[in-house]
Amino acid sequence: MDISFRQALLFSGLISFSLLASAISFEFFYDLAPCKLCIWQRWPHVIIVAVMLLGLSVPNKTWILLLISLSAIVTGIIGFYHTGVEQGWWSGPLGCSNQFGSETDISNLTTLLLETPVVKCDEIVWSLFNISMAGWNSLVSFFIAIFSFFSWVHIINKKKII
């Protein structure tokens, strides 16, 4: 299949936009407030959408696909980390889960209890096919990363042939 720079850019960017729009929709229409890790996962998607818009105005800058791939890897890793926190494979950031580190003393514990957000990173608030939103974000983001990278490789190789 022959894919153009513009097609690869639109496909990757629109999928990322869809993930971002879905997360925001769950927040505002279903009252599923995001935790700290959920917010962290959104920023690379914002970057991907911004880079897509930049790429549409500056044609054939194929390095943009690499930037999209890198941003997708970042949000995929954060999503995987978040999934691990939800599953109890490891503990989350301090103040984001129900577990406190052993280094926490009484004064820090009081501060943490007062400043800890209501939404915990280790609680699954929604899932589909037993995969949480963080898990879906990770899977789809890694797909975007792989697709963008191989689109870049394909476009670069096509330029060498011509």
Gap between the Cα atoms of 94 and 134, Å rounded: 18
Band (162; pLDDT cuts 50, 70, 90): very low
**Which pLDDT tens digit goes with each residue over 137-147?**
999 999 999 99
The alpha-helical segments, DSSP class H, found in 58-132 are: 63-87, 106-115
Rounded to 10°, the helix 36-57/133-161 angle is 20
Q: What mean pLDDT is reported for the chain?
A: 85
Q: Could you tell me the pTM of the whole model?
A: 0.81
Q: Where are the domains of the chain?
A: 5-97+105-161
User: Top-level CATH class of 5-97+105-161?
Assistant: mainly alpha
The least confident of 3-7, 36-40, 43-47, 147-151 is: 3-7
| Beta pairing partners, 128 | 131
